[in-house]
Amino acid sequence: MRSRFSINNYSNLGQRAITALFGALIIVGGCIYSDYTYFLVFAGILGFSQMEFYKLSGLDGMLPLRSFGTFLGLMIFCLTFMVEKEHLSVKYFYFIFPIVSLTFFIKLYRKTDKKPFTGVAYTFLGLFYVAVPFSLLNLAVFSVDATYNYQIIIGCLLILWASDTGAYFAGTKFGKTKLFERVSPKKSWEGFLGGAFSAIGVAFILTRYFHVIDDWKWLVIAGIIIIAGTYGDLIESLFKRSIEIKDSGKGLPGHGGFMDRFDGLLLSAPFITAFLKIF
């Protein structure tokens, strides 16, 4: 009898490796091919991540506007991309304010909501926590000469993935000293240091091949990702712990959900974008 391939037949580590390989190929390939394929890849990641956030909020008894909130997030992402490509004027950012304000009108007519303003607050939180960081990536990738450059986004992702991978293996093998036990009992200082060394190592390699920005900036970005990425992971762990769940979803076998995989990027992206725009 012919056996069917199923990723569930593999161990957790095997599932992580397979998912990471296919995911990396899609993301890296999309970023390199063109700015529009980059746009489609990250619009998809944003949409799935924001839907996960609203779903988790619902598990905790909150009632955010799941579909409308995700639409708003994608609209902000699309708008920032088109403005950075100079297909739209900056003045079109003003559309954000009246459209986002429609959240109040929609909640006004929801008769089943006992605490409508809590739902409004969580709808807005999904925008600031998920949609805004992903939208800021558009500013980062267009930060050099106002043209799209895949080296920036791929470089940041390689550093982030190196940090996550190094932390995972170092923490699994050597982890003894708890990093933040109240929020995430499994995370250790040994894992943090393993991730830091891996991220810095990849940053040094990038200085040899990616010359779109100065060499020292890759090292600063690595520092941002090491610190902000770790806090992003802890913050998402705090969020999941508050509603007593292990993973944000099941969309990425071996990794959990999209928020589990990109939580470090959510907190790193604002700092990286600010750094590249200021310096």
Q: How far apart are CA 94 and CA 167, in angstroms?
A: 42
Q: Which long-range contacts (CB under 8 A, 24 or more apart) does 105-109 make?
A: 106/65, 106/68, 107/65
Helix H segments across 34-176?
Answer: 35-59, 66-84, 96-108, 116-126, 132-141, 150-174
Q: What is the pLDDT of residue 2?
A: 46
Per DSSP, 252 falls in state B
Indicate if the pLDDT at residue 247 is higher than 70: no
Indicate if the pLDDT at residue 90 is higher than 60: yes
Mean pLDDT of 195-214: 96
Give the dihedral of Cα atoms 201, 151, 266, 45; nearest 10 deg: -120
Q: What is the pLDDT of residue 7?
A: 56
pLDDT, tens digit (0-9, with 9 covering 90-100), for 129-144: 999 999 999 999 998 8
Q: What is the pLDDT of residue 243?
A: 76
User: What residue ranges do the domains of the chain occupy?
Assistant: 12-278
CA dist 45 → 73, 95, 118, 164, 212 (Å): 11, 23, 26, 18, 25
Q: What is the pLDDT of residue 246?
A: 64
pLDDT, tens digit (0-9, with 9 covering 90-100), for 18-63: 877 888 999 999 999 999 999 999 999 999 999 999 998 887 778 8
Q: What is the pLDDT of residue 248?
A: 63
